[in-house]
């Protein structure tokens, strides 16, 4: 029997180890894919920056030439025209490449109320795309649950790395240059679109569920009152039952307290004082009464 248990637990441990290993492999695979995607997007973005710098350089050289019709200036203008033609061709190729990347990359929906607001394709820092989407959904739902949060207070904060949609000190979501590259727009434009979608989603959900939320909260308050009333009722019933039980058995189990011929404390008084937790007070009162009776009888 002992060997059977050892064998059984060994099988369970092997199964759990296999599941954990598969999960870790899946996460590693996703991480590598998203890392490769980020690297590719960074290369594309760097190429765009280099092209922009090259164009600015040519424009600056043309502007610095004083002579309007010099051969050098004409040559630079021709270079600029050729560069623009090549750049337009690269942009078309880039769009095809980015569309292909989006098509072959797993995307994660940000859908806090079963309605997709936008998608996240790539990682940000150490957060995978699915983690980014999950965190954004949680933040939006938490803001929706807080009745003191006003969607008009949401705003966009731009920095060199990203455009952040924030509420006070909370960053709801961030749009990076890589996110913008996949959408073919600037990060500021995308942030403005996402901000409007988030505000509209929260406002619409509140409008749809405002009556429901009031009814639920009213029902909870009534339920608490009912439960409290039931508890008070049963506590009183239990107290009356205990008191009646003690009174019914006083003649059998509780005797009068006497000193010679004087009744110091009757069984009824003794029982009631026990049930009311005032035994000491009643005892002192009865003692004083007995002493007074003895004193007046002697006098």
Task: Answer yes or no: do 118 and 144 share one domain.
Answer: yes
pLDDT of residue 199: 95
First to last CA, the chain: 91
pLDDT over threshold 90, residue 174: yes
> Once rounded to an integer, what is the mean pLDDT over residues 155-171?
92
Tens of pLDDT, residues 42-53: 666 677 677 777
pLDDT of residue 277: 47
Task: Answer yes or no: do 65 and 99 share one domain.
Answer: yes
pLDDT over threshold 70, residue 180: yes
Task: Answer yes or no: do 99 and 112 share one domain.
Answer: no
- Which of 78, 104, 130 delimits the end of a domain? 104
Task: Answer yes or no: do 100 and 140 share one domain.
Answer: no
Task: Answer yes or no: do 62 and 16 share one domain.
Answer: yes
Task: Answer yes or no: do 123 and 94 share one domain.
Answer: no
- Which of 82, 104, 126 delimits the end of a domain? 104
Q: Is residue 120 part of a domain?
A: yes
Task: Answer yes or no: do 100 and 112 share one domain.
Answer: no
**What are the φ/ψ torsions at residue 268 (nearest 5 degrees)?**
-65, -45
Q: Is residue 84 part of a domain?
A: yes
Alpha helices in the chain (DSSP H): 2-64, 71-104, 129-145, 177-183, 187-248, 250-253, 267-276, 279-298
Give the other-Cβ count within 10 Å of 187's Cβ.
23
* Number of structural domains found in the chain: 3
Q: Is residue 235 part of a domain?
A: no
Tens of pLDDT, residues 99-144: 777 788 788 999 999 899 999 988 887 788 899 999 999 999 999 9
- CB distance 259 to 294 below 8 Å: no
Task: Answer yes or no: do 61 and 152 share one domain.
Answer: no
Q: Does the predicted TM-score (pTM) go above 0.75?
A: no
- Show the domain range for 193: 108-215
| Residue 34 C-beta-side C-alpha neighbours within 13 Å | 23
Task: Answer yes or no: do 183 and 122 share one domain.
Answer: yes
- Which of 77, 104, 131 delimits the end of a domain? 104
Task: Answer yes or no: do 8 and 61 share one domain.
Answer: yes
pLDDT of residue 183: 85
Task: Answer yes or no: do 7 and 78 share one domain.
Answer: yes
């Amino acid at each position: 029997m002992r060997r059977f248990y050892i064998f059984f637990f060994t099988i369970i441990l092997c199964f759990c180890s296999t599941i954990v290993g598969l999960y870790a492999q899946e996460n590693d695979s996703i991480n590598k894919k998203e890392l490769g995607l980020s690297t590719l997007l960074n290369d594309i973005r760097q190429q765009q920056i280099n092209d922009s710098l090259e164009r600015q350089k040519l424009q600056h050289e043309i502007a610095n030439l004083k002579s309007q019709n010099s051969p050098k200036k004409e040559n630079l203008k021709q270079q600029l025209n050729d560069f623009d033609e090549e750049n337009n061709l690269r942009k078309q190729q880039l769009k095809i490449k980015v569309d292909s990347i989006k098509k072959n990359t797993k995307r994660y929906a940000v859908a806090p109320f079963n309605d997709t607001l936008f998608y996240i394709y790539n990682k940000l820092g150490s957060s995978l795309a699915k983690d980014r989407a999950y965190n954004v959904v949680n933040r939006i739902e938490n803001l929706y649950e807080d009745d003191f949060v006003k969607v008009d207070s949401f705003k966009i904060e731009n920095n060199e790395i990203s455009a952040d949609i924030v509420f006070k000190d909370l960053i709801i979501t961030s749009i990076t240059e890589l996110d913008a590259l996949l959408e073919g727009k600037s990060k500021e434009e995308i942030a403005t679109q996402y901000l409007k979608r988030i505000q509209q989603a929260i406002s619409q959900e509140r409008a749809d569920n405002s009556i429901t939320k009031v009814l639920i909260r009213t029902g909870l308050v009534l339920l608490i009152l009912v439960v409290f009333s039931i508890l008070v009722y049963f506590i009183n019933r239990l107290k009356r039952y205990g008191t009646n039980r003690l009174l019914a058995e006083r003649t059998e189990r509780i005797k009068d307290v006497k000193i010679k011929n004087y009744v110091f404390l009757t069984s009824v008084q003794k029982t009631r004082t026990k049930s009311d937790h005032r035994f000491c007070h009643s005892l002192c009162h009865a003692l004083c009464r007995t002493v007074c009776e003895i004193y007046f009888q002697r006098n």
